[in-house]
Structure 1
Amino acid sequence: MPDHPAPESLTAPSPDEQDGLRALNRTPHPYHHHSGELPHPSERFVLHGESPVADNGKSQLSPTGYPAFSKESTPASDSGTEADDEHFLRGLPAPKAKLHKGLRGRNEVLSGVSTPSPSPSPAALGDEQAQAVSKALLAKEELEKRHPLDAVRRNKVLVRRATEAGIIVALGCMVRANRQVSPLVDVWHRDLQLLGLLCGTLLALYPLRVVAWVYRRRQPSRWLPLKLPSNFDPAPLLYPPTITILVSLLVSVSNPAAILPSIILSICSIPQSLIPKVDLNASYDTVHWALSCLPLLWGSSIRNPSRYSATYSFMSEEEAALLYPLHRTLCIVLHHLTTTSLLTAELQLLSIALINVLILAVSPQMQILKALLWVGGLAVLVSCGAVIRWGISLARVPKWRFRRAVGSQKYRFWKDVRLFSWHAVLREVLGSTASDSLYDTASSDAEEDEPPVFSGPMRVRTTGPNAEFPVMADGIPALRGVQDGNLNGVARRHTLPRSNKPLRNGPTHTPSGRRKRATSTSMRPYFKLTQAQATMRKWLYAFYVYASMLSIIFIGVRAHIQKHALGGNEPIGWGLGYVFGDWSWFRFEVVSANLERWICLPPHPDAPDEKLCHMGWVQHVRHDDFGEATTRLILSAYWLVILVFGLVVVFRLKETYEVDTRRKVFHFMMVGMFLPSTYIDPTYAALALSLVLAVFLMLDLLRASQLPPLSKPIASFLAPYVDGRDFRGPVVVSHIFLLIGCAIPLWLALAALPRTGTGCMAGWEVPTRDASMVSGVICVGLGDAAASLIGRRYGHRKWLWGGGKSLEGSAAFAAAVFAGLAAAGLWQRVGGWPVTDEPASILASARNAGVCASMASLTEAVLTGGNDNVIVPVVLWTCVKSLGI
């Protein structure tokens, strides 16, 4: 049987490609590379304005291309419906076949990057490579015909994708059936119809654009049957546009004007491959920008200009038109910070959530969250970004590459202080000059102040009959006994004969012909430092970063909170009164020192308030017996006890149980902390989650910056609890996603409720409670943990589409969520808190809880394009809020 030639894409790599692949293994922290500093194309990832589109090997610019991710989304779910999720390989980084940490292969196409062709694969390859891909696709089709099992497996995957789309449709039906949402849908039906028509039209035109592109190329071999690939990931198409609209409809009952920005952001989050491209050299996609402005020109807003009045809407028409560039810019920044830690759908949802916090924040809790994320985050990014990059580059330099210390102590101290000179700072900002070598050579490490090896003039003679060798100034030969290739008359030993093959020698290759290892341009300036100078510079970087963070917190963030969240009250003094305001000795000291203008004391009730009796006995005891401020102290002490107890359990299980089991202890800790306490004081729980999220982000920034003294202790503490997802980028996302999954449902539930409170505590009370407040804690803390523990031990029956998810784990997830919702409803009835909606019967509540638990469990089983600790809690909150549990 004759051998068929293999496609070019499957042949062995060339020597240059081998050098490029060798460069990938250069460091255990490849995500610290920056695109402009990577010498080999195989190490580069696409930045804004670039695209991996290539014709004949030349890259082209892309108007809207920001760094995206691989075509095949890695399953992000680490819940325990996988029966084998405690295998030791789950703690290792992703395999090399799926390059991670921001490093991409030469021929890999980045999803979400705009290309001149609607088809992602052909647009990224040259003519020869495209023909090779066509041959490979044809060969794959032949294999599918020969092996029917492959077609069956493909059909199972398509069933999984269809189930995922069906979940979104079912969520839309639930939201539409809600009695409070129905009037909003009737008002905004034209805008919602526009969104649906736009998405449907773009999806229908996509295959036609592919066919037109193939026809323009005039490549008959490219005429392949159009069919949905088995690795198609619908998450970027389904979740960002739909979840944004569904959540906004449920939240915007009190103020329908918030729906318009959500509709615009949903259009902005449509995948870039669906949008036709006009100008590839534009900074932003003009067509996409124009589509995002359609709701301003056609819909309910054009017929009612009063929607843009200052008392009704959150923004003007001009500000609404700028949502698209804001969203695109924010996606670029977030991807630059997280590289491949976030998938495409997660990146879009995170950008939309941050923009909603920016433009729709009204309550004091959301204003504080806005100050922490936007004011503090942007200030740290602008003021400390360059210094953190310098610290990362300095940390990547091995100790043996530093220059040896010479000279006096005074000289070394002067070299250290020279850091503050203008030329040194300018050289670090602009990088090395183009004349510097990109490769490690002896000349690149030499210092002008190091003593030379030969101190005097010398003459050099070559080997041979009349060979000469280096002679010092005093006539003593530098190399003794070198005559005719012998050393002191003795034949050479332990050496290899010289090959007659010409060797490539120079600044880029070793004498043996091997390409020298590449050196990042950000690292080479530090080769001139000594070890002591490098240590001092690290501490100077750390001092600047810590001082900048403290200044931003106590100046910028504090001023924003004082003006927008606390009505002009000083945040530190307000916080003291918020926590200690019910203590008699504290009130006496404040009044005695005349500090009432700085410390806001809550009103102290002399008699029981009869108005609170209708809110239940727990609220009555909280207000009249303990006091609201004292209750917050009790809750803080309770949370601290749970946290300490959980950490002790985790440390005791460290040597005997697997990583996944120890991680589930943190899930149960969240349940124990927030399930019983959220109803007691929801606004305080929301504030605590916001502050803890800011602390987590700040600590992870310090860990990734590799600056002393906190970087190594934080990394050592988190190392036993990270998984493969955390190795994909510089951000350890496990604990952050766990916290966000618990906090987002509570923030959304509070956004849909009116506020009460008087004086300095205005806006810090809510009149009702509902189960949606604790849906995130129930989903992440109970459902995910139960699925993991049961699925690993008893999960033997897999879902139809295969994978690691088991039916037993999914059943455990649904049962745990049902039990959690039942416990939340029982606690609400026992506590006597008023409910948001009309109370349903026990049978109806059990039916609705079962539907919500089943929907969340099914979403967790089919989800592959996003983290289940974030998307599944939002889906559960949507179900609970729609059905009115």
Structure 2
Amino acid sequence: MLVSLVLSESNPAGLLPSIILAISSLPKQLIPSIGGLESLNIFHWGFSCLPLLLPKSRAVSNLLEEYHTKNANLDFEILLLLQPLHLALCDTLQYLTTTSLLPAELQLLSISLVELLLLAASPQAVILKSVLWGCGIGVLVTCTYVLKWGVTLARVPKWRFRRPETKSKPRKSAFFGTLGTSIFAKTAIASDSSDDDVPEPWARRPLVSPKLHLKTKETVSKYNGTAENGSVSAIEPKGDNKIPNGTPNGDPDISFNVQRRHTLPTLVHVPPRSSKRTPSGRKKRSASSTVQSFFYLTQTQASLRKWLYAGWVYLCIIVIILGGVREYVGEFALHGNEPVGWALGYLFGDLPWFRMEVVKANFQRWICIPPRSGDEDLESCHLGWVEHLRHASFGEANTRLILCVYWLGIIVLGLAIVFRLSAIYEVDTRRKVFHFMMVGMLLPATYVDPTFAALALSLMLAIFLLLDLFRASQLPPLSKSLAYFLTPYVDGRDLKGPVVISHIFLLIGCAIPLWLSLGALPRTGANYLAGWEVPTREISMVSGVICVGLGDAAASLIGRRYGRRKWVWGGGKSIEGSLAFATAVGLALTLAKAWLRLGGWPANNDDSWFMTYGKAGVAAGVASLTEAVLTGGNDNVVVPVVLWLCVKGLDI
């Protein structure tokens, strides 16, 4: 509601859906329930629709009129369905993230996605909606069961698969056949992880017993289909409870160095399970029918099926992106232009050789080429020297290429530093390198081309989500490499659920203030770049980068090393860390204001530097207090939004 009120001056249409979603997000315990808390609460649904049941209200009528003007495809029926959509989306997000997010964070995430679905109007917002909603729903519809099967198959240990049949079987000893079927098969049931390829140490110890009951050759051959009956004989140990050097039937010595995963020919001969606990103290768990259906596969068949599952997921994602998402983006975000050709012109349109090749091949209708630099670019001089360089000297497309090269250099340098520090510093220090990387990438570049930065963050968010989907689903060949790369940088929150949220929420925390700021600014641009230029810049654009990249990093580094005084409400946050957070954010906001003025962009106010220092200090103090109080939530997302509200409200 705070965000909607701040944006209502330029976009009043978003206020009414925000009121409905705010009522829909009230806890179930506060609303009288019809049928129980877990069932669909009709009373809550009706309560959320109260803002729509006031037809005589002039304010509501004006809001709906504005709503229909900007969103002609939405009406009362769609607004009535916001509460069920919000609840269904919360359940889906909770299933995907399990316990990685708090209930309040799930509510905020669901509301943000619904608002994006309803209010996306700019080209960047439409692209973000298409990649999140289009790809997300497409993957859920086409790949849900395949992903479940793939995860289940990946959790089956290799030694539980059926051994491939061979024409000539080696001779088995009586002791080996029974011991392998009884002891090691029982151990197989106790674990359900694919990492348990090697038997536990206690399972490999020699079994010494006063009396061992062993089956004879006839009984063992019965399993091979050669004998009609069998008998059981007992062998008394010799000496000091030692295993005899030979069996009564003349079999060779028995070796106890037996690997567990090759001792179970089929699952049919596994003895009945018991409720006894294993030597490790864990109670045995029964395998589900879905897991048991994979036990009859051989290792080769299981590997082939894993690759088939992965191939189906990759194929569906490629079809979704190149099919539905591409058509939707071209129609509603790029004014009917083909997305691939538009992207080529957007990045390489100012290169002379590229323009020549496009003209030679007669691809002007497919690849959008910007007009040549002329007298109209001289008008950019009044916007400042940075805008003049971007428009007249380098060219808009060449400036984007320069930014891409700059970002790539920061990423390579940051990864080199992280790998160098891996053997020296702890995990938290290495994680903060990524925070500083975001500062180096986005703080100077966001003002240069904010719409391009917003587009890059949207695409990177989609790539991060897809890569984490591959990792969590254990799809070959990327899952293991991604898991090995992310393991040294995860924290306790990442281990609560299947999704590693640290890097995703780091990117979201930097991107949300920029997306919100662009949603409140007017748009310019001509031809195929209509809606891709903003005439002004705001400090609120970089508030997320400042908060996450500098404030959070300073609070963590200073608080862990020099924090001695804790806040009275608990949570582990120190007063020294909060002071470091406020200091870093206040200085960064002041430097962002200085960069805005030095770059020559039009300022949003004429405040003196003393007034700017005071406003930056107040905003930094509020954000620092929020970070200190927010002990259970994810401060990488909530605190940047709070800082954005302060910067916009104080008009820094």
The answer, yes or no, to whether TM exceeds 0.5 is yes
Q: Which amino acid aligns with 1:597?
A: R
Alignment of 1:400-479 (within 5 A): 400-407=159-166, 453=223, 455-456=225-226, 458-459=228-229, 470=230, 478-479=231-232
Q: Does 1:859 align with 2:646?
A: no
Q: Which runs of 5+ in 1 are unaligned?
A: 1-244, 410-438, 442-449, 460-469, 471-477, 496-504
Q: Does 1:266 align with 2:22?
A: yes
Decide whether aligned partners of structure 1 residues 838 and 520 sit closer, same or farther in structure 2, where only a CA change above 3 A counts: same
Alignment of 1:544-583 (within 5 A): 544-583=312-351
Alignment of 1:548-627 (within 5 A): 548-607=316-375, 609-627=377-395
Deviation at 1:564, TM superposition (A): 0.8
Q: Distance in 1 between matches of 2:550 and 2:370?
A: 37
Q: Describe the SS at the equivalent of 1:732.
A: coil
Residues 425-455 of structure 1 deviation map (CA, whole Å, 9 limit, x = unaligned): xxxxxxxxxxxxxx959xxxxxxxx995152
Residue in 2 aligned with 1:766? 534
Residue in 2 aligned with 1:399? 158
Residue in 1 aligned with 2:399? 631
1:570 and 1:598 in contact (8 A); partners too = yes
Deviation at 1:672, TM superposition (A): 0.6
Q: Distance in 2 between matches of 1:775 and 1:489?
A: 77
Residues 798-839 of structure 1 deviation map (CA, whole Å, 9 limit, x = unaligned): 11223311111111000000111011000000011013x332
Residue in 2 aligned with 1:882? 649
Decide whether aligned partners of structure 1 residues 707 and 313 sit closer, same or farther in structure 2, where only a CA change above 3 A counts: closer
Deviation at 1:303, TM superposition (A): 4.8
Residue in 2 aligned with 1:154? none
Deviation at 1:285, TM superposition (A): 1.1
Residue in 1 aligned with 2:613? 846
Deviation at 1:370, TM superposition (A): 0.5
Q: Distance in 1 between matches of 2:226 and 2:239?
A: 31
Q: Does 1:289 align with 2:45?
A: yes
Deviation at 1:752, TM superposition (A): 0.4
Residue in 2 aligned with 1:663? 431
Residue of 578, 586, 590 corresponding to 1:810:
578
Deviation at 1:676, TM superposition (A): 0.5
Q: Distance in 2 between matches of 1:677 and 1:302?
A: 41
Residues 630-673 of structure 1 deviation map (CA, whole Å, 9 limit, x = unaligned): 00000110111111111111111111111111111110111011
Deviation at 1:610, TM superposition (A): 3.7
Deviation at 1:508, TM superposition (A): 4.5
Residue in 2 aligned with 1:517? 285
Q: Which amino acid aligns with 2:491?
A: D
Q: Distance in 2 between matches of 1:272 and 1:282?
A: 9
Deviation at 1:273, TM superposition (A): 1.2
1:509 and 1:515 in contact (8 A); partners too = no
Q: Which amino acid aligns with 1:810?
A: S
Q: Which amino acid aligns with 2:651?
A: G
Runs of 4+ aligned residues of structure 1 deviating over 4 Å after TM superposition are: 299-306, 488-495, 505-508, 510-516
Q: Which amino acid aligns with 1:509?
A: S
TM-score, reference length from structure 2: 0.84
Deviation at 1:593, TM superposition (A): 0.8
Q: Describe the SS at the equivalent of 2:523.
A: coil
Deviation at 1:506, TM superposition (A): 8.8
Residues 322-381 of structure 1 deviation map (CA, whole Å, 9 limit, x = unaligned): 000000010111111111111111100000010111010000000100110000111011
Deviation at 1:688, TM superposition (A): 0.4
1:810 and 1:861 in contact (8 A); partners too = yes
Decide whether aligned partners of structure 1 residues 510 and 809 sit closer, same or farther in structure 2, where only a CA change above 3 A counts: closer
Q: Distance in 1 between matches of 2:635 and 2:590?
A: 22
2:221 and 2:227 in contact (8 A); partners too = no
1:372 and 1:694 in contact (8 A); partners too = yes
Alignment of 1:488-499 (within 5 A): none
Q: Which amino acid aligns with 1:851?
A: V
Decide whether aligned partners of structure 1 residues 508 and 590 sit closer, same or farther in structure 2, where only a CA change above 3 A counts: same
Decide whether aligned partners of structure 1 residues 327 and 408 sit closer, same or farther in structure 2, where only a CA change above 3 A counts: farther
Q: Distance in 2 between matches of 1:396 and 1:601?
A: 51
1:394 and 1:538 in contact (8 A); partners too = yes
Decide whether aligned partners of structure 1 residues 674 and 408 sit closer, same or farther in structure 2, where only a CA change above 3 A counts: farther
Q: Describe the SS at the equivalent of 1:522.
A: helix
Q: Which amino acid aligns with 1:749?
A: S
Q: Which amino acid aligns with 1:861?
A: A
Q: Distance in 2 between matches of 1:800 and 1:316?
A: 49
Q: Which runs of 5+ in 2 are unaligned?
A: 169-187, 191-219, 244-269
Decide whether aligned partners of structure 1 residues 328 and 488 sit closer, same or farther in structure 2, where only a CA change above 3 A counts: closer
Q: Describe the SS at the equivalent of 2:515.
A: helix
Residue of 277, 294, 302 corresponding to 1:526:
294
The structure with higher relative contact order (CA 8 Å, sep 6+) is 1
Decide whether aligned partners of structure 1 residues 572 and 518 sit closer, same or farther in structure 2, where only a CA change above 3 A counts: same
Task: State which drifts further: 613-622 or 781-790.
Answer: 613-622
Q: Which amino acid aligns with 1:360?
A: L
Q: Does 1:831 align with 2:599?
A: yes
1:508 and 1:515 in contact (8 A); partners too = no
Residue of 379, 384, 388 corresponding to 2:147:
388
Deviation at 1:516, TM superposition (A): 4.5
Alignment of 1:644-793 (within 5 A): 644-793=412-561
Deviation at 1:281, TM superposition (A): 9.2
Residue in 2 aligned with 1:368? 127
Q: Describe the SS at the equivalent of 1:708.
A: coil
Deviation at 1:556, TM superposition (A): 1.5
Decide whether aligned partners of structure 1 residues 370 and 451 sit closer, same or farther in structure 2, where only a CA change above 3 A counts: farther
Q: Distance in 2 between matches of 1:264 and 1:678?
A: 33
Deviation at 1:252, TM superposition (A): 2.7
Alignment of 1:118-157 (within 5 A): none
Deviation at 1:613, TM superposition (A): 2.3
Q: Distance in 2 between matches of 1:404 and 1:862?
A: 57
1:301 and 1:307 in contact (8 A); partners too = no
1:258 and 1:313 in contact (8 A); partners too = no
TM-score, reference length from structure 1: 0.62
Q: Which amino acid aligns with 2:164?
A: A
2:350 and 2:397 in contact (8 A); partners too = yes
Q: Does 1:311 align with 2:311?
A: no
Decide whether aligned partners of structure 1 residues 490 and 652 sit closer, same or farther in structure 2, where only a CA change above 3 A counts: closer
Q: Which amino acid aligns with 1:855?
A: V
Decide whether aligned partners of structure 1 residues 818 and 382 sit closer, same or farther in structure 2, where only a CA change above 3 A counts: same
Q: Describe the SS at the equivalent of 2:295.
A: helix
Q: Which amino acid aligns with 1:883?
A: L
What is the alpha-carbon root mean square deviation over aligned residues? Answer: 2.5
Residues 48-72 of structure 1 deviation map (CA, whole Å, 9 limit, x = unaligned): xxxxxxxxxxxxxxxxxxxxxxxxx
Residues 502-521 of structure 1 deviation map (CA, whole Å, 9 limit, x = unaligned): xxx99452689997532133
Deviation at 1:542, TM superposition (A): 1.2
Decide whether aligned partners of structure 1 residues 608 and 398 sit closer, same or farther in structure 2, where only a CA change above 3 A counts: same
Q: Which amino acid aligns with 2:33?
A: K
2:454 and 2:515 in contact (8 A); partners too = yes
1:308 and 1:317 in contact (8 A); partners too = no
Q: Distance in 1 between matches of 2:285 and 2:189?
A: 7
Residues 554-594 of structure 1 deviation map (CA, whole Å, 9 limit, x = unaligned): 11211111111001100000000000001111111111111
Q: Which amino acid aligns with 1:458?
A: E
Task: State which drifts further: 606-615 or 324-333.
Answer: 606-615
Q: Distance in 1 between matches of 2:556 and 2:237?
A: 74
Q: Does 1:348 align with 2:348?
A: no
Q: Which amino acid aligns with 2:113?
A: L
Decide whether aligned partners of structure 1 residues 333 and 614 sit closer, same or farther in structure 2, where only a CA change above 3 A counts: same
